[in-house]
């Protein structure tokens, strides 16, 4: 709908025309940027980077859309390939996306998934000077030596760094490698380049690597350590280079053992000798580290970072696993970018030219070459004499990043959401709802969106928040994950297993009411649970019982209102069950415990059914019941509501209220226990005193038998519930 994606394109332009001010830690209009090249800091930018290319889908994919080297949609192979693509600078918001989670009422597991994906690590970046490389030798002054930066979460183990490893793809390798090591290094790099991501990350495989011939100086003690390249170091994380601390890192130890590199323990494990501490990766006491000896990990870390900073050999540093969001696709069905290219530079399309509609094409299919389908529309591409349109399109996530905002004000043609509507629905505390935290009150969705939609939408929302377009920094205040419905064989529904249940087939046989009610009756909302056709049948039977509770079939085979349904006062028992049902269903809906709400309504119907013919069914109780059941089974309850000749529309009725006084029993059953074991049950009037209950228990024959010749040491009385006689 162009009236919708117009605003998706508009929001993209807001992102494009913004930058992240690191001092204020927030997005600002690009006009506030003082630097030379605004294009280098925009939140939407173009970069030539190795991307996830999926030949089968004919498009590139975001990291979040690649699972185990396969596309999230369809499961097709994905390969690394350098391409020029649009990226969104989500990494600038990594800290805020992480911190923002704290305040959210989300499942802990989901927060953990996002935290994990963002992957914040605290540590230090150390500078290793390179001596004895193709660019330097022993006579080069220290300050002129090339520098390799290395990130570590364990700066306290710096003295134990006995070698260094670069990722094979690291461009620094070319600068480091010495004449005599050229061949083996080139061969190794070629060998690694030929491997797929999957092969490379196979944990089981042996460590491989080659020496570059170059040496670095350990910044802690200026000791010469060899520089290797190995594929266990990844270009995509940190700086693409590590310091090898074999004594306290299992991977480094494996590598060092294989290539006979020296291993120096610098952390002593409790109760172990230094030699025995090799392989120990937990916190311990620093040894063999002149500046740090005797310090705990915490103290050693603080001290070495101070020292590094003072000596300009390193600094405190934080790293994230989160990468920028690859935002362009080579597909027809996506929002076209509101961008034109002129003289090799991109620029924003004027707002008044939105929506930018895609051109009509004969063939929508991906080209397969990486060239977007839109590139085929030569007339459309040509924007002016010297400018052409961007031909990539946005991913499906773009539109879903802000739809909840549009829901607040769907018809607005002047803004993506009216300011007042946005404040009303998404804003926080106001006079009417003082405790409202803002954002969407309740968002129900699957966990599969953990690091896709839920991450992307939070990011967009934060940009809009910084730009003053929305009133709260988080979009989804409370979130509940509904569990996945498995096939009847308890496996994930999939064509492969032939266990897919089509809702339409179920609705065809049992109706939408039965389908809905069964889904809610199956079990707790959040839980994964298998489908059962028999279960649907059971719920369908319940709805049929509801029908027959009020309706009878006449001689002609037509359903008519049952004669038992009368305008009479409910009996005391009927009143009690009705009020109990109102209470249970109301509370269960609040807590999203729909399964037990339905159980209670089954109990209600079971309580009324046997009385048919012998006792009148009060129409008032039926009215109450139908209103309770209406959200679960809207069709049958609407029909019955009409058949009862009730006034108004059932969906417009006020929700029933219960009277706690009517739920109180006259008599209660008291459980008698001896030493915690149930021995008897007695019925006493409500409100019997503790003394009365205790006396009744002491006098009870079964209690006395169970006690035998034990003396009573203690009697615990829980009013209206239980008496526990403790003997011994």
Partner RNA sequence: GCCGAUGUGGCGAAAUGGCAGACGCAACGGACUUAAAAUCCGUUGGGCUUAAACGCCCGUGCCGGUUCGAGUCCGGCCAUCGGCACCA
Q: Among residue numbers 143 through 172, which ones bind RNA (CB under 7 A)?
A: 151-154, 167
- CB of 499: closest distance to RNA in angstroms? 14
Residue from the set 140, 296, 412, 593 that interacts with RNA by CB under 7 A: 593
Structure token digits, residue 639: 């029909």
Residue from the set 606, 649, 651, 710 that interacts with RNA by CB under 7 A: 606
Residue from the set 70, 149, 207, 478 that interacts with RNA by CB under 7 A: 207
Q: Nearer to RNA by C-beta: 308 or 464?
A: 308
Q: Among residue numbers 523 through 582, which ones bind RNA (CB under 7 A)?
A: 523-524, 527-530, 532, 534-535, 537-539, 541-542, 544-545, 548
- Say what the alpha-carbon torsion angle 620, 621, 624, 626 is, to the nearest 10 degrees: -110
The Cα 310–Cα 108 span in angstroms is: 40
The Cα 422–Cα 76 span in angstroms is: 40
Q: Nearer to RNA by C-beta: 238 or 372?
A: 238
Residue from the set 10, 28, 39, 121 that interacts with RNA by CB under 7 A: 121
Residue from the set 332, 380, 521, 632 that interacts with RNA by CB under 7 A: 521
Q: Nearer to RNA by C-beta: 104 or 167?
A: 167
Residue 610 as a binder of RNA (CB under 7 A): the answer is yes
Handedness of CA 232, 234, 238, 242 (dihedral sign): positive
Q: Nearer to RNA by C-beta: 2 or 687?
A: 687
CB 61 within 8 A of CB 76: no
Residue 258 as a binder of RNA (CB under 7 A): the answer is no
Residue 719 as a binder of RNA (CB under 7 A): the answer is no
Question: Residue for token digits 């690291």?
Answer: 170
Structure token digits, residue 120: 């914040």
The closest of 424, 460, 335 to 44, measured between CA atoms, is 460
Residue 74 as a binder of RNA (CB under 7 A): the answer is no
Residue from the set 30, 467, 551, 722 that interacts with RNA by CB under 7 A: 722
The closest of 48, 58, 46, 55 to 79, measured between CA atoms, is 55
Cis amide linkage into residue 355, ω under 30° from 0: yes
Structure token digits, residue 290: 């002149």
- CB of 209: closest distance to RNA in angstroms? 9
CB 61 within 8 A of CB 54: yes
- How many residues form the binding site for RNA (CB under 7 A)? 90
Q: Nearer to RNA by C-beta: 38 or 75?
A: 75
The closest of 438, 454, 455, 475 to 94, measured between CA atoms, is 455
Q: Among residue numbers 214 through 233, which ones bind RNA (CB under 7 A)?
A: 231-233
Q: Nearer to RNA by C-beta: 141 or 676?
A: 676
Residue 200 as a binder of RNA (CB under 7 A): the answer is yes
Residue 609 as a binder of RNA (CB under 7 A): the answer is yes
Q: Nearer to RNA by C-beta: 478 or 545?
A: 545
Residue from the set 109, 311, 649, 689 that interacts with RNA by CB under 7 A: 109
- CB of 141: closest distance to RNA in angstroms? 29
Residue 702 contacts by C-beta under 8 Å, 6 or more apart in sequence? 672, 679, 680
Q: Among residue numbers 691 through 710, which ones bind RNA (CB under 7 A)?
A: 702, 705-706
Q: Among residue numbers 643 through 682, which ones bind RNA (CB under 7 A)?
A: 669, 671, 673, 675-679, 681
- CB of 63: closest distance to RNA in angstroms? 8
DSSP structure class, residue 105: B
Could you tell me which residues are beta bridge partners of residue 268?
285
Q: How many CB atoms lie within 10 A of CB 714?
A: 9
Q: Which span (49-57, 261-269, 335-343, 588-596) binds RNA, by CB under 7 A? A: 588-596
Question: Phi and psi (nearest 5°) for 649?
Answer: -95, 140
Residue 496 as a binder of RNA (CB under 7 A): the answer is no
Buried b vs exposed e over 251-264: b needs ≥16 C-beta within 10 Å?
bbbebbeebebebb
Q: Nearer to RNA by C-beta: 186 or 486?
A: 486
Contact pattern from residue 360 through residue 389 relative to RNA, giving x for each residue in contact according to CB under 7 A and a dash for the rest:
------------------------------
- CB of 13: closest distance to RNA in angstroms? 31
Q: How much is the CA Rg of the chain, to the nearest whole Å?
A: 35
Q: Among residue numbers 289 through 328, which ones bind RNA (CB under 7 A)?
A: 319, 321
The Cα 185–Cα 174 span in angstroms is: 9
* Pairing label, strands 529-530, 485-486: parallel
206: left (phi over 0), alpha (psi -120 to 50) or beta: beta
Residue 621 contacts by C-beta under 8 Å, 6 or more apart in sequence? 570, 574, 575, 578, 608
The closest of 277, 225, 278, 290 to 253, measured between CA atoms, is 278
Q: Among residue numbers 12 through 31, which ones bind RNA (CB under 7 A)?
A: none
Q: Which span (201-209, 288-296, 472-480, 629-637) binds RNA, by CB under 7 A? A: 201-209
Contact pattern from residue 449 through residue 488 relative to RNA, giving x for each residue in contact according to CB under 7 A and a dash for the rest:
-xx-------------------------------------
């Amino acid at each position: 709908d162009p009236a919708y994606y117009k605003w998706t394109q508009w929001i993209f332009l807001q992102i494009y025309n913004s930058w992240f001010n690191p001092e204020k830690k927030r997005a600002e209009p690009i006009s506030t940027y003082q630097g030379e090249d605004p294009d280098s800091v925009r939140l939407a930018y173009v970069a030539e980077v190795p991307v996830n290319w999926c030949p089968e889908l004919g498009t590139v994919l975001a990291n979040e859309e690649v699972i185990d080297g396969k596309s999230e949609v369809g499961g097709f192979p994905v390969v690394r390939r350098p391409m020029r693509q649009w990226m969104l600078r989500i990494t600038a918001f990594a800290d805020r996306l992480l911190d923002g989670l704290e305040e959210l009422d989300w499942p802990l597991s989901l927060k953990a998934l996002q935290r994990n994906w963002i992957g914040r690590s605290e540590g230090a970046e150390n500078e290793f000077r390179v001596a004895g490389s193709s660019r330097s030798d022993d006579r080069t002054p220290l300050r002129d030596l090339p520098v390799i930066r290395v990130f570590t979460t364990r700066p306290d183990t710096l003295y134990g760094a006995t070698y260094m490893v670069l990722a094979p793809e690291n461009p620094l390798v070319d600068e480091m490698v010495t004449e005599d090591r050229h061949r083996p290094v080139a061969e190794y790099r070629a060998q690694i380049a030929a491997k797929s991501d999957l092969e490379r990350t196979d944990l089981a495989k042996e460590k491989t690597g080659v020496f570059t011939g170059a040496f670095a100086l350990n910044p802690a003690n200026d000791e010469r350590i060899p520089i290797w390249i190995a594929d266990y170091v990844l270009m995509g994380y940190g700086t693409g280079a590590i310091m090898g601390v074999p004594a306290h890192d299992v991977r480094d130890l494996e590598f060092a053992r294989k290539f006979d590199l020296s291993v120096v323990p610098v952390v002593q494990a409790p109760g172990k000798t230094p030699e025995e501490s090799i392989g120990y990766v937990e916190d311990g006491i620093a040894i063999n580290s002149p500046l740090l000896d005797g310090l705990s990990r915490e103290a050693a870390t603080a001290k070495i970072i101070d020292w590094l900073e003072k000596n300009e050999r390193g600094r405190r540093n934080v790293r994230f696993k989160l990468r920028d969001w690859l935002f362009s696709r080579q597909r027809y069905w996506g929002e076209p970018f509101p961008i034109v290219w002129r003289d090799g530079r991109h620029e924003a399309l004027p707002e008044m030219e939105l929506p930018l509609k895609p051109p009509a094409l004969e063939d929508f299919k991906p080209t397969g070459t990486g060239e977007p389908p839109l590139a085929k529309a030569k007339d459309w591409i040509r924007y002016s004499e010297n400018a052409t349109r961007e031909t990539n399109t946005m991913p499906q996530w773009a539109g879903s990043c802000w739809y909840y905002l549009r829901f607040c004000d769907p018809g607005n043609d002047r803004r993506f959401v009216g300011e007042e509507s946005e404040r009303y629905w998404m804003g926080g505390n106001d006079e009417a709802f003082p405790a409202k935290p803002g954002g969407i009150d309740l968002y129900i969705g699957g966990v599969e969106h953990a690091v896709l939609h839920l991450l992307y939408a939070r990011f967009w929302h934060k940009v809009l928040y910084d730009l003053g377009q929305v009133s709260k920094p988080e979009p989804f205040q409370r979130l509940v994950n509904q569990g996945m419905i498995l096939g009847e064989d308890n496996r994930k529904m999939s064509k492969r297993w032939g266990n897919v249940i089509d809702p339409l087939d179920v609705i065809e046989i049992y109706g939408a009411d039965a389908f809905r009610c069964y889904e809610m009756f199956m079990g707790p909302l959040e839980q994964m649970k298998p489908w059962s056709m028999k279960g649907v049948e059971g719920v369908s039977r319940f709805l049929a019982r509801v029908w027959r509770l009020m309706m009878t079939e006449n001689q002609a085979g037509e359903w008519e209102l049952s004669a038992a349904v009368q305008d009479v006062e409910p009996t005391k028992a009927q009143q009690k069950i009705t009020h109990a049902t109102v209470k249970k269903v109301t509370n269960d809906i609040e807590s999203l415990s729909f399964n037990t709400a339905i159980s209670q309504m089954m109990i209600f119907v079971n309580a009324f059914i046997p009385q048919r013919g012998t006792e009148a069914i009060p129409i008032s109780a039926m009215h109450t019941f139908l209103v309770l059941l209406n959200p679960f089974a809207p069709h049958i309850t609407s029909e019955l509501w009409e058949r009862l000749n009730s006034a108004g529309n059932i969906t417009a009725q006020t929700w029933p209220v219960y009277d706690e006084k009517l739920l109180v029993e006259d008599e209660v059953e008291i459980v008698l226990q001896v030493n915690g074991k149930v021995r008897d049950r007695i019925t006493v009037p409500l409100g019997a005193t503790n003394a009365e209950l205790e006396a009744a228990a002491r006098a009870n024959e079964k209690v006395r038998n169970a006690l035998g010749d034990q003396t009573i040491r203690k009697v615990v009385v829980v009013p209206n519930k239980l008496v526990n006689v403790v003997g011994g």
